[in-house]
Amino acid sequence: MSSDTIRPMNPVPEEFAGSSFSRGLKRAFHATRPKFFTASILPVLVGSAWGAYAGGSFSWYVFGLALLATVCVHAASNVLNDVGDDRIGTDPRNEQRIYPYTGGSRFIQTGILSQNSMARLGITLIVIASIAGVLLLIERGPMVIAFGIAGLLLGVLYSLGPIKLASVGLGEIAVTLAFGVIPVTGAAWLQGAPIDASLLLLSLPIGIWIENILLINEVPDMEADEASGKRTFPVRFGLAATANLYLAVNVAAAAIVLLLTATGKLPLLAPVVPIGLLALAYKASRGIRVGMADRPGMTQSIEATLAIQAIGSIWLVGCALYGVWF
């Protein structure tokens, strides 16, 4: 029996039952889908490392606040995405999901938390992020407001509000900005680095690798998304085009790192890992072409994509720190 055959389709409500404070914290924590927090933690690490390199200084206090704000906005976005997808009917009708990667946390559908409780959790996380943002504003000045508003708007409007970026075909672009450009440039600027072309280029591979997590996770959800009017890239253009885009942007990420190396902004060996990851990306793109006809293969492709994002981002943290130390 394959591991995918025995993979659960939902969280088990009994594991989260109970009225104690610790049980409540457990429900809240797992509702935020912490498995994906590398998508907010690593961009801040990359940006902060670049800031220490380009700015010549580093503040642990500022780093901690930036990390707290970014992770809380990410967690709030995940929770509010569950609320939005439950309201439009995407998650309730999603029978092709690969839990825990796609189809949301399933906390609303299994009764672990109500839709209202999830909404309150999302608002609480935004309040915590805002408090961290105010402290950063005091420390670094009004530019913090621009980064904070941009991040919050993208996080909330991804699933809620009059626009619903994910439903109108802008989800992939929103994620590239929200998890690449904004946290990387923001974290670097907070540490004293100038916002220049090199920093913006550095942010793009980070955003691309995270955008590909969203892109591949949309494949198992295609039927439910289409039925609920959610016009993701796979819904609009199909599996072949999705696989082509997935591979093309991975190539673009490697090319950007190569360009930064050629211009002397990254160490000589910086392109080695992003180029090496293309082999894993190619294999994952083949899984996308088959889609849910090969469910275990699709699961492996999702896990490969998560690995690409983690390995590539950690590598770029090391490359930036190389500039600090050497």
20 located within any domain: no
Q: Quick check: is 244 in a domain?
A: yes
Residues spanned by the domain of 57: 29-325
The reply to whether 15 falls in a domain is no
Taking alpha carbons only, the member of 37, 102, 45 closest to residue 74 is 37
62-109 tens-digit pLDDT: 999 999 999 999 999 999 989 988 998 888 888 888 988 988 899 999
SS3 category, 270: coil
> What pLDDT does residue 178 have?
93
Mean pLDDT, residues 2-25 taken together: 81
Q: Which residue has tokens 């995918």?
A: 4
Cα distance between the two ends of the chain: 51
Q: Is the dihedral of CA 126, 130, 136, 137 positive or negative?
A: positive
Is there a domain that residue 316 lies in?
yes
Q: What is the pTM of this model?
A: 0.92
**Is 18 within a domain?**
no
Contacts of 191 (CB under 8 A, 6+ apart): 47, 48, 50, 51, 52, 55, 57, 58, 59, 62, 63
- 231 burial via Cβ count (<10 Å: 0-12, 13-18, 19+): middle
pLDDT in tens, 261-275: 999 999 999 999 999
Q: Please give the mean pLDDT across all residues of the chain.
A: 93
Residue entry with tokens 């797992």: 30
The verdict on residue 9 lying in a domain is no
12 assigned to some structural domain: no
pLDDT of residue 3: 46
Task: Report the candidate in 288, 314, 312 with the shortest Cα–Cα distance to residue 300.
Answer: 288
> pLDDT of 132-179, one tens digit each?
999 999 999 999 999 999 998 998 888 787 888 888 889 899 999 999
Residue 8 lies in a domain: no
How deeply is 244 buried, as exposed, middle or buried, from its count of CB atoms within 10 A (0-12, 13-18, 19+)?
middle
Which tokens sit at 223?
């039927």
**What's the confidence (pLDDT) of residue 7?**
58
Within 10 angstroms of residue 56's Cβ, the number of other Cβ atoms is 11
What is the tally of structural domains in the chain? 1
Q: For the domain that residue 66 is a member of, what is the CATH number?
A: 1.10.600
